Amino acid sequence: MSRSGHAPLLGDLEAAVMDHLWTGGEAEAKAVHAALGEARGITLNTIQSTLKRLYEKRLLDRDKVSHAHVYRVRMSREDFHRGLLGELVQEMWHGHADAVVSAFVDLAERAGPEHLARLEALVAERRRALGQGRR
């Protein structure tokens, strides 16, 4: 979580850098640039400032080794996604996320256990009736 209490949002390059670090583990800016920057035609400086921004968003930790910073992720991909999902569910409660998300079952509304049991019994009964009909 960022200082604002919201899950930090990422731009395209930031997401690519995080993906690289999640997959490959800790790295210096030069190594990240070699993996991502050259293919995208961007400079080492851009990668360095992206890493710094991710550090400021509290997604990365860094240690100074020799003259360079070595960056590593502060949270796993799963923890990051958990934060975003939590925020998405909150937005659904406020009715905002509904406009951009259509969930398989409504995340902001639960059926009671007694209703679920009744419906499951109905489905099972119907399945049995269909099975007998085929015999």
Instruction: Name the site residues for other proteins (rule: CB under 8 A).
Output: 6-10, 12, 15, 18-19, 22, 76-78, 80-82, 84-91, 93-113, 115-116, 119-120, 122-123, 126-127, 130
Backbone region of residue 41 per phi and psi (left: phi > 0; alpha: psi in -120 to 50; beta: other values):
left
Cβ proximity to other proteins, 40 vs 126, nearer residue = 126
Closer residue to other proteins (CB): 61 or 125: 125
Interhelix angle 12-24/77-93, rounded to 10 degrees, is 140
Nearest approach, Cβ of 7 to other proteins (angstroms)? 7
Cα within 13 Å of Cα(39), Cβ side = 8
Closest CB to other proteins among residues 68, 74: 74
Nearest residue (CB) to other proteins, 2 versus 43: 2
Distance of alpha carbon 37 from alpha carbon 42, whole angstroms: 5
Q: How far is the CB of 67 from other proteins (least distance, A)?
A: 30
Residues found in the chain: 135
